[in-house]
Amino acid sequence: MTDTTDDIAEEISFQSFDDDCKLLGNLLQEVLQREVGPEFTEKLERTRILAQSASNMRMAGIENMAELIEKQLSSEISKMSLEEALTQARAFSHYLNLMGIAETHHRVHKQRNLELPSRSCDDVFNKLLQGGLPPEELYNAVCKQEVEIVLTAHPTQINRRTLQYKHIRIAHLLDYNDRPDLSHEDREMLIEDLVREITSIWQTDELRRHKPTAVDEARAGLNIVEQSLWKAVPHYLRRVSNALKKHTGKPLPLTCTPIKFGSWMGGDRDGNPNVTSKVTRDVSLLSRWMAIDLYIREVDSLRFELSMSQCSDTLSRLAHEILEETPSDHRHENWNQSMSKNLLKLQASALPTQLPARADQPSCTECNDSGSQYPRLEVPGTDYRPLNRQGGQPSSRSGSLYHDSNLNSRILSNGSSAAPINSQSTVLSRAASFNSGQVLVQRKLVAESQIGRPSFQKLLEPTPPQWPGIAPYRIVLGHVKEKLMKTRRGLELLLEDLPCDFDPWDHYETYDQLLEPLLLCYESLQSCGSGVLADGRLADLIRRVATFGMVLMKLDLRQESGRHADTLDAITLYLDMGTYSEWDEEKKLDFLTRELKGKRPLVPLRIEVPSDVKEVLDTFRVAAELGSDSLGAYVISMASNASDVLAVELLQKDARLAVSGELGRPCPGGTLRVVPLFETARDLRQAGSVIRKLLSIDWYREHIIKNHNGHQEVMVGYSDSGKDAGRFTAAWELYKAQEDVVTACNEYGIKVTLFHGRGGSIGRGGGPTYLAIQSQPPGSVMGTLRSTEQGEMVQAKFGLPQTAVRQLEIYTTAVLLAALRPPLPPREEKWRNLMEEISKISCQNYRSIVYENPEFLGYFHEATPQAELGFLNIGSRPARRKNSIEIGHLRAIPWVFAWTQTRFVLPAWLGVGAGLKGVCEKGHTEDLKAIYKEWPFFQCTMDLIEMVLGKADIPIAKHYDEVLVSESRRELGSDLRKELMVTEKYVLAVCGHEKLSENNRSLRRLIESRLPYLNPINMLQVEILKRLRSDNDNHKLRDALLITINGIAAGMRNTG
């Protein structure tokens, strides 16, 4: 199973899994024989056999023999040429990736064959009703559930997207191989396809050669929607609806969406100077463009399907009106063209020499619902060549906007220019300012280019009916498609920074406008007895619109609290009011509250401020221009006081006043939710007090009730709290903080939504979604929840439609159970006291080593590849918040990432053993065993730590020390390894297990199966690091190191 989440299945069929691993391994060996020759494959096999023998000896308890074999392996690796070491690292890395693909495939396969999957909607609904829950209460709880999964750009996804697509293709081929009806010839062809894919993978560069931009990261997030979530969401909602109907007699309402999606990609500017206000605007427009493009494809398919003529009187009248408004000589043009008469008709691209495949079908008809995940090639639409804004002549950039499904080639390349705002009036004012002479030149060029040139689209589409009695659904949906295409073209012009006449009647601005005609078609089909048609593709599209809206994923903005204080410093100094940041908290609150109650802007229009302050002000301006229709929450990282929240509210209010004044009308949408993020142990302890202080302010409380439906959102951070105080202390402080925040909101009659900033690895709060939600404090999950999904976990959980459906179901059922059957609190006060004592000892032990031992920083840099991780090019943001080598300024991701590479995984367990030992030695071992059995929070915490210990490898960590660490610091490494053994001893004692992963044998076996391939990569990494540190500018050595990093990440099944 995926080591950081066992949500898919507890067991897999190891017989068939081993068969697939053997098949893929043999095919890889066949490819290597051809690509690098038999001599290399013999050496590779010898390396594997030595590693396998050492692992077998160690598992059998024959430690001395295992050490001898490992020394022999290390000696042979040290004698390898660089080319040989690099090729071996590549081979083992690819094999581990192939094992991961097979593992995921068999989890999905196992789940598919279960009659009643555990934790599914059907299973949980049934158990709740059997437990005495009234059906009506169950129905209402599901319909009112609000869960938002927020995808982030945290840089922990190692694999290039090119390789991810190839891995998905192999997963599909394995799925096809399971079919019992395959002929011998079919199976031979399948093997050939697998060989081609593996060959393609081997010949592809594994490494990113350039650092991704923030827009690149956003595109990757949108690709997850396109390749997986777009298909998964309707399937998931059908499961929920069918289970509800089965157990309560009523299906899920068509526009009810228990789960929605958000994003930080292009909005998270905390410590990342590459995310600017312009990037945020670009990404927001791009997300809107992508949504419209996906809807056009679906509507096109629906037009093909809904060919019937019988309809309701209402739909018939609408079809009549559409035909009457369309002049007969323009009907065919309006049916197909993507630009209205008010838009510039720009030069069309050259016609193809022959019709593409499926040209006789609507352009987006899917011929294979379960087919390849590769981008589909579609019939080209009308493209154009943008004109040079300076001279009115065609630019050398030939048509940069194509209507295909591959987002990578579509619109933006590394953040190309975008329009200032997406509001109608601003677009109109920009269009009016465009030189009229240039417009005339453009129109003349286009007219000349079209003489004698037939419309390619006219050849592909049927002539539309002339009266509504023939196909009214096609008429209505054709009108919908026309408006969608005009909306898309308008967005394309904005993204290209070109002028655009914006007619609100010809465009969709809100998802309600798009839902209206779709619901009308649905009601018409139902009223005519065609419910079976209404509940097919049309219902799926309606559910997609309700879930994804017009932007797919609303974009959160995030900035560090100090940047807001700096901005207010600049403003108050300019206004001769003093320095804001030097005021005490009460003075700040008085000032902020007074300004918030006022009606005039605070910031002068012509204020001159430093560039970093200007960027903050520009970000608030973009937020005002886009509004809550496109953006989600404004998250304040490192929040510690009530003034941090009010400062953002004031800057937001000021920007909205300024933009509204310029537009002459209110800003689009509402104000953004302002969400404090508490992430250090100290800030978590004060979270409840900060919320109480905020809610005690009349203006703020009234603002929450009026503008946010009486809802306060609070975010808690797992990553920085773990790096700050250790995993155990962080877990306990997070638990108490949530309790306190919930109590504070209840005191003021305000509802609370907790936003969990969880990482992928255990050291950053990762773990099984179901267990994590079920172990939250009682009352903290009352049907609402937000949670981040980061890096490699996004691909692992949502990369395939089948796994995405399962994950969405698990979110729904876990939140439902947490609300209706909340987990038990600590049974007695003694339990809390014991937790406090463990936490105190654990934190002291952790900080005494990490922050107070002067040798630790040097040991960390020598024993891990932390300094070299920057060569990976896996994220747009810097690894450190400030230009400092101190641990405190290092981000949590590289901190965890580096220790995961050495298989020491120190951040996930350091301090835990000392805390448990201190309490057990005082005679509380039996108490801890009882707590483990009865309290879900403590059980979940200990199980995750036990899982991490099962993945730690002391001999490998020791090998890093012996080769890389200076002799004066090796004693610290030895002490840490002893600490790991102490932690293992006491974790097993508390959990009542004889050996690690005793309650998860499937995981144990999976880890053991990877060792013959994973251990050699670690040894190769040690040798390459040794050479690189004496030859730092050797780019070939860097490449070899990065390939070992990829391989270890594949073997550990997580990174940071």
Residue 786: strand pairing partners? 148, 755
- Is 7 within 8 Å of 770 (Cβ atoms)? yes
Task: Look at residue 323 and give its three-state secondary structure.
Answer: helix
Beta-sheet pairing, 711-717 with 673-678: parallel
Q: Residue 936: which of 781, 775, 768, 766 has the closest Cα?
A: 775
Kindly report the backbone phi and psi dihedral angles of residue 678, in degrees, each rounded to the nearest multiple of 5, phi listed first: -100, 120
Element (H, E) at 773: helix 769-774
Rounded to the nearest angstrom, the gap between the alpha carbon of residue 456 and the centroid of all alpha carbons in its chain is 39
Structure tokens at 36: 């690098």
Structure tokens at 150: 């927020």
**CA distances, 685 to each of 552, 557, 562, 850, 936 (Å):** 36, 25, 20, 21, 22
Where do runs of H (alpha helix) occur along 310-423? 313-325, 331-336
- Dmax over CA atoms of the chain, in Å, equals 94
Task: Could you list the beta-strand ranges (E) of 130-249.
Answer: 146-152
Q: How many CB atoms lie under 10 A from the CB of residue 932?
A: 16
Catalytic option among 94, 109, 154, 708: 154
- Is 727 within 8 Å of 908 (Cβ atoms)? yes
1026 among known catalytic residues? no
DSSP string, 558-612: EEEHHHHHHHHHHHHHHTTS--GGGS-HHHHHHHHHHHHH-SS-SS-TT----HH
Helix, strand, coil percentages (3-state) for the chain, rounded to 5, are 60, 5, 30
Angle, in degrees to the nearest 10, between helices 925-934 and 970-991: 70
Element (H, E) at 526: helix 511-527
Q: Residue 944: which of 722, 714, 717 has the closest Cα?
A: 722
- Is 737 within 8 Å of 684 (Cβ atoms)? yes
Q: Residue 219: which of 166, 264, 283 has the closest Cα?
A: 283
CA-CA distance, 562 to 570, in Å (whole number)? 13
Q: How many CB atoms lie under 10 A from the CB of residue 40?
A: 17
320 among known catalytic residues? no
Structure tokens at 832: 């809390």
Q: How many CB atoms lie under 10 A from the CB of residue 131?
A: 9
Q: Residue 913: which of 946, 954, 958 has the closest Cα?
A: 946
CA-CA distance, 300 to 303, in Å (whole number)? 5
CA-CA distance, 386 to 416, in Å (whole number)? 14
Say which residue the tokens 């894919």 belong to. Answer: 197
- Is 210 within 8 Å of 97 (Cβ atoms)? no
Q: How many CB atoms lie under 10 A from the CB of residue 462?
A: 13
Say which residue the tokens 């660089």 belong to. Answer: 82
Q: How many CB atoms lie under 10 A from the CB of residue 114?
A: 11
Residues in the chain: 1056
Catalytic option among 94, 105, 109, 723: 723
**Residues labelled catalytic:** 154, 723
